[in-house]
Amino acid sequence: MVHSGLIARTTIGLLSAAVLILWAPVAAATPDSDADAAISAAWDAGGGAAGPLGPKDGGVYPAGEGFGQNFAGGKIFFTPATGAHTMTGLILDKYQSLGGPADSDLGFPTIDEGAGKAPNSRNTTFSAADKPVIFWTPDTGVQVVRGPINAAWDKLGGSAGTLGVPTEDETYGGAVVTQKFTGGEVSYDRKAKTFTTVPPDLAAQLADLQIPDDPTSAINAARRAAGGALGPLGAAQGPPYPIGSDGLGQNFAGGKIFYSPDTGANVVTGQVLTKYESVGGPQGDLGFPTSSEVDGGLATESKISSFAAKDKPVIFWTPDYGAVIVRGAMDAAWEKLGGATGTLGAPMADQTESGDVITQRFSGGVISWDHNKKTFSTEPGNLASQLSGLQVPGQDQPKAANNAEAPNTNGNKWFQWTWWWLLAIVPVVVLGALVGFASLRNRRRGADDGLEADDGEFAYSTPSGYGMPITEHEPADDHSAAFFGNHYTREGLGSLPPASAARDYQQEPMNPWGSPVHSGEADTSQEPIAVQQDQHDEDEDPDRVDTTPTRMPTGIERDPLTDTGRHARIEIDEPAANATALHLPLEDPGQAPEGYPIKADTKSGLYWVPGSSLYDDASAEIWFASEEIARTNGFIRAN
């Protein structure tokens, strides 16, 4: 027994020890501990506190997708993919000025800062897909070389080759990026995918150089071309997201960048972006943008963006007319006549369609295209001869698709919608609404036939929405409740109790004079009360007379302070009819109807005000009461 007990105790002790060992905390590796170890190893390898970095200046901290640590003479950055690498001096300053590991599009350093091929040069390469490098010399300073330019530079021998070292950062001109070097310059057209060089003979050596198409790099390049974080796009709002089968988009504080393999990455901002997205954006019939916004060429501010649809649409923006789509036949004719800087000027509104004819107005005239006859007509008429034989792109495309101003027509239908029908429809709708309101109001009044029920009992309603009975003092169409309920029944004299109190209140039946019908302890067997015109003896003592309110045939003077609330009598004036907003011509079409001085022409969509240069000569099809009403109905003031 003694041996058995000893064995049992020994076994239990061993098991307990094993459990304690298994449950003891294990020192596990963590990302920051790995970073600390890697950064410390790189620092030690560079000489530690006695090396170029000097002593530590704080501990390891998160930096973007990795970690960093500061030292007296520079920094070390780390990710598991790139390892720990040292940066110092002007190269570090350039890196941090562009956003560093967290906010730049360079990525993390992939090598320690070291000597370049050129004499007295230093450089660091980075992890971004377009293989950027920051290069420094005492004579030229510090520049970033990346993407197609870096590939061409390497192909031509790098800093020890013909081009030498970079003298400035890349610059952008539309689809072309250019960078200058001590021995020349290199340009790359991302649309044509071709290089040009100075001197020109270097381009032949780059003819077979293939530049991989990386969507993220393309979006980053488009953002840099637009000014980066300090440009109109501002800060990024999330990573790129897919659009369709092979497209991408990325949102920024001031706009968006859209990318597809066929169009590249392009920037859209402001009212141009609003217009673009109102017709479906990249998945609408405009397609992806084929260029970032560029200046529209006018003396005043203007912008233009082009899109990938077959009819070559553009969105043109000006402060005066906003963002307008020009496409197909309209765009071909407009460009033929000089575009926004030509005779027609800037577009004023999207194209409209009536039957077989598409029309668009510009600040300097009008273009119409009959797609059955394949002919143009213009205002002024002498412009049409310049459009003879003009090829119209994308004639099989929708002629006015997704156009908020263009009516949806079908040539096979007898019914053809035109916008000026609104001038007739709106007054009819308003008149119908007024007639319906008056009819409904009269029916409600007619429903108040009296309060006496068929069985001789006084009729009373169930509690109303306010928890109070509807009596003869409160007809069913009580205007005071409808018009003044919110104002008077919540505060002030004569206000009603809150809805919750009304629900708790048990309403007694009411007689025609508004007082409860009492019968001792709610005796319901009482005979019906007979209403008599003369209920009191003239000689009866006034102090003993029943004071139950009696209906009086005479009017009662209102107290303006206390005669408020649900049961107050409030007189509602009927609204006066308003004058119409427009007027048709009189027998003398040149004479302005009284109160309607504004001339308007439905064909051109223009209006004229008294005193303007063309007012007397203009023919009026409609007269408006004011400029505001004319503009509300879609008319534009004639210049």
Backbone angles phi, psi at 278, to 5 degrees: -70, -20
Banded pLDDT at 411 (limits 50, 70, 90): very low
Residue 196 pLDDT exceeds 50: yes
Q: Measured between alpha carbons, how far is 404 from 397 in angstroms, rounded to an integer?
A: 17
More confident: 151 or 510: 151
Share of the chain above pLDDT 70, in %: 67
Distance of CA 418 to the CA centre of its chain: 29
Alpha-carbon Rg of the chain, whole angstroms?
42
Residue pLDDT, tens place only, 77-92: 999 999 999 999 999 9
If you average pLDDT over each of 246-260, 383-397, 484-498, 557-571, which comes out highest? 246-260
More confident: 516 or 227: 227
Residue pLDDT, tens place only, 22-71: 554 444 557 788 999 999 999 999 999 999 999 999 999 999 999 999 99
Residue 280 pLDDT exceeds 90: yes
More confident: 451 or 354: 354
Residue 461 pLDDT exceeds 50: no
- Where would I find the H helices in 27-158? 31-45, 89-97, 100-103, 147-155
Residue 148 pLDDT exceeds 70: yes
Reported residue count of the chain is: 639
Q: Tokens 């409600």 identify what position?
A: 444
CB 145 within 8 A of CB 125: no
CB 106 within 8 A of CB 95: yes
CB 168 within 8 A of CB 186: no
CB 191 within 8 A of CB 237: no
**Dihedral over Cα of 92, 94, 99, 104: its sign:** negative
Bridge partners, 78 (sequence order): 67, 84
Residue pLDDT, tens place only, 607-618: 889 888 788 888
pTM above 0.85?
Answer: no
Q: Is the peptide bond before 380 cis (omega within 30 degrees of 0)?
A: yes
Residue pLDDT, tens place only, 556-598: 444 444 444 444 444 445 444 556 778 888 878 888 888 899 9
Residue 515 pLDDT exceeds 70: no
- Average pLDDT (286-309) is 96
**Dihedral over Cα of 78, 82, 86, 90: its sign:** negative
Taking the CA of residue 300 as centre, how many other CA atoms within 13 Å lie in the half-sphere pointing to its CB?
8
- 57-60, long-range: CB < 8 A, 24+ apart: 60/32, 60/35, 60/36
What is the overall mean pLDDT for the chain? 79
Bridge partners, 260 (sequence order): 264
